[in-house]
Amino acid sequence: MSSIGRGLVLFVAAALGDGSADLEYLAQKTAHLRLFPGDDDRFARSLLEVGGTALVVSQFTLYAQTRKGRRPSFTEAAPPDVAEPLIAAFCERLEALGLRVGKGRFGAYMEVELCNDGPVTVLLDSADRQRSRRGQEPRAKDSG
């Protein structure tokens, strides 16, 4: 059983095609995103700056497709043999960045209890690094 004090609960899912670049992007974003209050600013400090902990809970159901039918489809989620090492590597990368990391058990039924301070809930998607910003043209990829 894992528990944390001040920090973030991270529900993490791996999608088909995710790899090391995706987990690096998400680890960096998680560690440095300013979600905690500072002296004057509501979102002024990062998880690293507040000395917080990340509790990582694997959650393939984040990729549920519910547009058709009455039963969710999880075809976008990476299979367990791919997702488990990716989520473990994500945790290792967070630790390498200097964060303390609590972990759920991959594939296990877990009762997760959390207290939102805010509440603030943010969705991070590694596919966002490929998308253009609003009103900007997409960047051309280097060919060399």
Q: Which residue has the tokens 């497709």?
A: 65
Q: Are 18 and 62 in contact (CB under 8 A)?
A: no
**Residues marked as catalytic:** 59-61
Q: Sign (positive/negative) of CA torsion 59, 60, 63, 64?
A: negative
pLDDT tens, 5-62?
Answer: 889 999 999 999 999 999 999 999 999 999 999 888 789 999 999 999 999 999 998 9
Counting every residue, how long is the chain? Answer: 144
CATH class of 7-107+115-127: alpha beta
> Which one, of 94, 102, 122, lies nearest residue 26 by Cα?
94
pLDDT tens, 61-111?
Answer: 899 999 999 999 999 999 999 999 999 999 999 999 999 999 988 888 888
* Helix 80-96 / helix 20-32 crossing angle, nearest 10 deg: 40
Query: Domain spans of the chain?
Result: 7-107+115-127
